[in-house]
Amino acid sequence: MNNLAKTKKQLIAELEQLKQRNAILEEMSAPAVTETKGADNYSRLIQLHDDLLVSKERYRLLFEKMTEGFAAAEIILNEQGEPADFRFLEVNPAAEQLTGIRSEGAVGKTARETFPRLGQEWINIFGKVALTGEPVTFEQYSQLLE
């Protein structure tokens, strides 16, 4: 594996770790809000909140500053459980520059809404990653991104 691919893989893994940590911290702090009793609970709540803010800021900086184009998406399955589309959740600035799509215009929309002529092979590739969690490396030319 070359250094670029290894770095990209490490960045994606770090993004996932930060997302998981944020989810845990948010889950832990939610009940604490209603059960806050005494200075110890209040101090713990403040520390959880501060940890969450630091983690969110690290994630945001990593996502915005990484040089690899990255878009987080959720897969949409058809009735047979096969990938039919995906919805953009986040698009980083590097992906905007590489593809020409803008976060404001893509986030919340499906790939087919964003690229009406998108071939099923793209959805199959991204669907495989979403369903298996296994990384895939591929190169494919698309006129849609011109």
Q: What is the pLDDT of residue 45?
A: 79
For residue 76, the cross-strand partners are: 85
For residue 85, the cross-strand partners are: 76
Q: What is the pLDDT of residue 27?
A: 67
The token pair that represents 2 in the structure block: 């070359």
| Cα→Cα distances 29→41, 47, 54, Å | 10, 10, 14
Neighbouring CB atoms inside 10 A of 106's CB total 23
Residues in Cβ contact with 80 at an 8 Å cutoff, skipping those fewer than 6 apart: none
pTM of the shown model? 0.61
Q: CA-CA distance, 54 to 31, in Å (whole number)?
A: 20
Tens-digit pLDDT profile for the chain (146 aa)?
Answer: 444 444 666 667 777 777 777 777 666 655 554 554 556 777 887 888 888 888 888 888 888 888 888 888 899 999 999 999 999 999 999 989 888 888 888 999 999 998 888 888 889 998 988 888 888 888 776 665 55
Q: CA-CA distance, 114 to 89, in Å (whole number)?
A: 13
Q: What is the pLDDT of residue 93?
A: 94
CA 5 to chain centre: 18
Q: What is the pLDDT of residue 37?
A: 54
- Looking at residue 125, its amino acid is I
